[in-house]
Structure 1
């Protein structure tokens, strides 16, 4: 009994520590994920006789392992670096976490949601404190915490919507709503357009998923609060105002067909064009980094891309989708479907059938990353891929328990 209690307690503690330490510390949450990986492998070895495995488990294993295995052929062809595995290895290592969580939380699902909620509250507050310190005291034009500002923005936005979704069925609902606001402020202070523009889209997605039980008061409060917060930030922050004005300037040039004048957004179009050309050259497994660099130089000589695209290391596409298209070919498309589309479908279907909090929160969480992946390749980053894999493992495990163990959900 003590053995199982210690396993349960350690698993619950990780649900608190990972979001609590996510952005307020320098990669400490990755350390927690690494520890839980080792612990889960030990647990599975010790309890291998009792580890049943069904079709759902097989599907989840495929979701968490697809990114890694899609990179096997190109790594062999390249023969000079294991960098291709940078993101996929983190997701792969979350498979044993899932397999342990599906057992550890069978009798403690409600506690799992509670510990996760508290961790998100603490993490959101810590993130806001760090954001305020960097923006107002250090006078940084874009806060970045211990990361690049773009990655900080994505993770802060992710924390915000985890808080919002969990607030629906939590005794900490008021604190979770405050955590949502705190993380939204942190997101805005990064000036990360991909994260900021995701906010209204995810709010709409939340409403669509939950429209039958939508509270007019809550919906109005969130919408009005977001508009007021956005306008206040725009008029009181020069850096935010400049960023939004510059975005409008770029969009106007793109609409008129002058892509070169849209330095930031226009460059992404060139990068995506180069990635598409790489896919055409090797559609099955993609092109290795050195060949992508050579291709980009050739495209520049032909006047098809700009100087930034020509000189970029590894031919990076600044989009998870185009990056995997270029580096993994058709295998990359399969991996994208497995690690983003399939989880979204699994969570939405389960939510519609059972009104599951895990299904609802998991669906919004994955939808957020689907948006983030449009203009960056966040799942290549160490912290983000570890966090994404850990949260997928958590929600997959909670959904499995609800599907096969008939455990009552939080009220």
Structure 2
């Protein structure tokens, strides 16, 4: 009896921690870490108590991706002489492996993810509306950089959208459908109000992935209505001046057209294009383990002095592209580690997203959507360079992987925990 009560409390505690993480992502500065910290301490306590159980084989792709990434970043940091603070963000992935083990022992319902993401997206929209129309800030930013605020808001909205598809598939109560629909729209609107542009580049691919996996189990008229709804929302966002969407689009097009002019690298888009061009020139120097921050600056200064690239690149703290950043700062091994971090989990999610079991399908599709979105964010931003970025990636993937392990075990008829 006592064991059953303890297990019940552990499961409720795990679900509450998951809800808290997603719900607090946009509405506070750092308290979103409370949920993961609680799960880490609880998992470590369970491990130290001796009640250990091995993770199933299906966990290995994530274990290899997370551990390999941290190992390579650690080697690169040591080789280039960078500060140990460089390891602060990556090291969280190792800690999340303990959380994965704990969540495997404490089965939770996927509704914890959908509910948390929905609360987070709606809370983010409230902050965005307040900052844009009450404080009259040019871009909504919450408590983060505007780009990170907009990207994470879109991530939460997309998670809610997968929750909506799952709720329709499994005929959940109407209030869930309304909540998830409102939250998915809230995430996209918040991203618009943040003025973030890069995150929208991959949205058609993400929506196509969602359609691909759920088209066989949802009515065709629903997809047609969704397509019309998204088109109308986009049109409204573009035509309503208060959103600033049209101005940001026109500005981006102008900056691309004027890139080759003398002052073309001084604009937001122009600076990114010039940084990517400069980064391509430094790839050969990066070697296996990369260049230190000082070495990168010295080489960029030399390129500027030679007239090969333009001076605004020296004003940027990073390359605004996750792949270029890892290749140059952590070398060829860093690039391979990043690609493994992206593709090993993505490959498994994509394989299991074809499953017929609803819970297994939903967890895997959410993984595909989340990872595709984060890869897209990294094309124009150093997403993992921000604590909220590495946690949004790491904790989301960890939770979805644990849900996938549990659903897969249930589908195979094997116990999910001991």
Normalising to structure 1: TM-score of the pair? 0.91
Note if contact 2:100-2:402 (Cα within 8 Å) is conserved in structure 1.
yes
1:300-379 matches, cutoff 5 A: 300-313=304-317, 316-354=318-356, 356-379=361-384
| Structure 1 partner of 2:34 | 31
CA contact (8 A) 1:65 1:88 kept: no
Structure 1, gaps ≥5 residues long: none
8 A contact 2:42–2:102 mirrored in 1 = no
Q: Is the 8 A contact 1:98 1:397 kept in 2?
A: yes
SS in 1 for 2:411: coil
Question: Corresponding residue for 1:278?
Answer: 282
CA distance in 2, matches of 1:300, 1:204: 42
Which of 228, 232, 241 does residue 237 from structure 1 map onto? 241
- Measure the CA separation in 1 of the matches of 2:122 and 2:82: 43
| Contact 2:292-2:329 within 8 A present in 1 as well | yes
TM-score norm. by structure 2 comes to 0.89
Hey, what's the Cα distance between the residues in 2 that align with 1:185 and 1:197?
Answer: 15
Matched, 1:136 2:141: no
Residue 385 (structure 2) pairs with residue 385 (structure 1): no
Question: In 2, Cα distance between the equivalents of 1:208 and 1:305?
Answer: 43
Q: Shift of residue 88 of structure 1?
A: 1.1
Aligned to 1:190: 194
Within 5 Å, which residues of 2 pair with 1:2-401?
2-48=5-51, 50-105=52-107, 108=108, 112-170=109-167, 171=172, 172-237=176-241, 239-253=244-258, 261=264, 263-313=267-317, 316-354=318-356, 356-401=361-406
CA distance in 1, matches of 2:135, 2:25: 21
Per the TM alignment, residue 370 of structure 1 is displaced from its structure 2 partner at its CA by 0.8
Call closer, same or farther: CA 1:45–1:274 in 2, change over 3 Å.
Answer: farther
Structure 1 residue 129, shift from structure 2 partner = 0.9
Q: Distance in 2 between matches of 1:369 and 1:388?
A: 7
2:416 is aligned to none
Question: Deviation at 1:258?
Answer: 5.4
Partners in 1 of 2:177 and 2:151 — Cα distance? 23
Give the secondary structure class of the aligned counterpart of 2:309: coil
Give the secondary structure class of the aligned counterpart of 1:99: helix
User: Structure 1: how far apart are the matches of 2:411 and 2:235?
Assistant: 46
Provide the rounded CA distance (Å) in 2 between the counterparts of 1:120 and 1:340: 22
Q: Distance in 2 between matches of 1:234 and 1:405?
A: 46
Kindly provide the CA deviation profile for residues 271-328 of structure 1, in whole angstroms up to 9, marking residues without a partner as x.
2233333331132111111101111101111222221212334xx1111111101111
| Cα separation, 2, equivalents of 1:230 and 1:322 | 31
Gaps of 5+ in 2: 414-418
CA distance in 2, matches of 1:191, 1:139: 13
Contact 2:146 2:196 in 1 (8 A): yes
Question: Superposition RMSD on alpha carbons, in Å?
Answer: 2.1
